[in-house]
Homo-oligomer: A and B are copies of this chain.
Amino acid sequence: MIEIRNIAQDKPHELFIKYYDEALKAKQSSINAISISSFDFEKNEVESRFVNLKYIIEDKWIFFTNYGSPKAQAFNKHKQICALLFWDSINTQIRIKGKIRRTSTSFSDKHFVGRQPEKNALAISSNQSRKIDSYEDVLKNFEYIKENSDLTKRPIYWGGFEFIPYYFEFWEGKKNRLNKREVFEYKENDWINFILEP
């Protein structure tokens, strides 16, 4: 589930909610799994990974990660990202382009306190995406932190990112690939709307 609060009252967000409700009704698994693609300016490489979308608040789409992770570093140099949802229970793909930035520290603090202690132990103990000698070391670090740390205190190297969409494509798969594709693009303070060939 995605926690949705005061979502923006515009066409693309309204349409998003319509599809989201349909996918919920169809019991879509992993409904909040969203692919985030970024451009690593240093390596000149595109990279993608799934994250859990936790909140949509107004027009901000929010997930959490380690601020030292490769994706966090990529966001610093290239703030544009592409987010992708695919709900096969309703054969619908949603593509979003947006600009990304950190959430406020107070927002991250509040979210951290509400999480399960075990998840926080991992957030504290893991240098996300660093090479490590063995999975056993991961478990050992985790157990040590779980017993010896304040699991309600957010470490400064962990927190939220929020992206604000400027482009949506809603893609519905149809028979014979006659797919329906509707685009909303934010231009000059307004959403313009058009359809694309399948």
Chain A residues near B (Cβ < 8 Å): 29-30, 33, 35, 37-39, 44-50, 78, 80-84, 86, 88, 93, 95, 97, 116, 118-119, 121-123, 126-135, 138-139, 142, 175-178, 180-181, 194-198
Contact = CB atoms under 8 A, between A and B. Distances in A.
Given A46-B46, A50-B93, A127-B197, 6 more contacts: A33-B88, A44-B80, A121-B176, A122-B176, A122-B198, A132-B196
Q: What is the count of identical protomers in the complex? A: 2
A119 B33 contact: no
Given A45-B80, A122-B178, A178-B139, A131 B194 contact: yes
Most buried by B among A39, A88, A116, A127: A39
B196 A131 contact: yes
A70 to B, nearest CB: 10
Nearest to A142: B178
A132 B49 contact: no
A176 B95 CA distance: 29
Nearest to A132: B197
B80 A30 contact: no
Contacts of A121: 176
Contact of A119 (B119, B128, B129, B177): B177
Closest 10 CB pairs of A and B: A37-B37, A118-B176, A30-B88, A48-B82, A48-B84, A122-B177, A37-B48, A126-B197, A46-B82, A37-B46
B195 A132 contact: yes
Given A122-B198, A138-B198, A176-B142, A97 B47 contact: yes
